[in-house]
Amino acid sequence: MLRGFGMLRFGRRILPSSLQKLLKLHLNTRNNPKHSETQILNPYEAFTIFNSHFKPAMKTQIIIHGFLDAYWWPWWTLLETSTLHASNRQLPSNQSVRTSPSSPTTSAPYMESVRQTFTSSVTVSRLSLGAQAGGYAGTITQQRYNFTIGRITGLDPAGPYFTWLPTSIRLDPSDAAVVFTIIIDGETIFNLAFGSPQPMDHLNFYPNGGLNQPGCENGVLAAIFGGPTMNSTTFDALGTLAATALEAVACNHARAPVLFHESINNPACTMKSFQCDNYQAFLRGECFTCRGQRCAALGYHANLALASPYVTKNFYTITTARSPFCSK
């Protein structure tokens, strides 16, 4: 654990060869959408990229999982599949890359492959510790390759070690052209929370105030008998067990990728969020207006044009305990 944090902090260094062999990128495109067809890329061996289906001109989504997580778990394969089908129609296609949060230097050489093409077409989505790693990757690509990532999406960025620290340590708006977060589990670590309440980016979304999510107050037994909240019938028995176990242990934290997945697959449920000074003012009904572009959809279809340089905007909404999550 300490080794991982150290690698994040000093992510500009080149990894030792022993670690370079362990860290890989897993590529899926519309030419190889199935998990069984995943191509393994080594960012330190260019031929693995040149011989793959990777195309620099295509919209590229880089997914970085969280601590003690893994690329093969069903919530990431499902999110990957959903992303491939949600391609921006202005680009030829879409491709998804999954990697580890252990070191941002793994992602940075790969993203150099898309430099001087469609800068805005490169997006990074990541959960928890992976969110912080995505910020380091954004910094490295700018400093080392003179290339700015188009969009970084932070799914409940990790709080312990990062909250209220300098921007050189944590995710911040300078890491990409647009950086936005979905803040879900913003209590302190003393309450067994893993996220951060801090508004770190251009656009910060706080479902249910960013603290306690509906349904999570029912405890472990509710997660076990209710099953995973992610709206999917594709999970096998092992995947269902894994998703249920994750929600039993970290129900609030696990809701972030669930809501993001829902925003892709159910565009009718926008989970409309309103810009407000704080959650208490939102609950008092002081912010229910879209005038002056003060409302936005939560998640994948968020209006990135709302982002302003050097300005932090916070949006609040209320969701339900299960899909489709839209609160009436």
The residues annotated with a catalytic role in the active site are 128, 156, 253
Give one word for 218, left, alpha or beta, with left for phi > 0 and alpha for psi -120 to 50. alpha
Residue 110 CA: distances (Å) to CA of 41, 115, 211, 234, 256: 9, 10, 35, 30, 26
Nearest to 250 by CA among 175, 192, 312: 192
Crossing angle of helices 129-145 and 2-9, rounded to 10°: 30
Neighbours of 167 (CB within 10 A): 13
Nearest to 203 by CA among 291, 317, 119: 317
What is the side-by-side strand order in the sheet with 151-155? 39-41, 25-29, 94-99, 59-64, 122-127, 151-155, 178-182, 203-207, 313-317, 273-275, 295-296
DSSP-derived 3-state class of residue 321: coil
Whole-angstrom distance, CA of residue 143 vs CA of residue 138: 9
DSSP-derived 3-state class of residue 124: strand
* Burial (CB count <10 Å: 0-12, 13-18, 19+), residue 326: middle
Whole-angstrom distance, CA of residue 294 vs CA of residue 272: 10
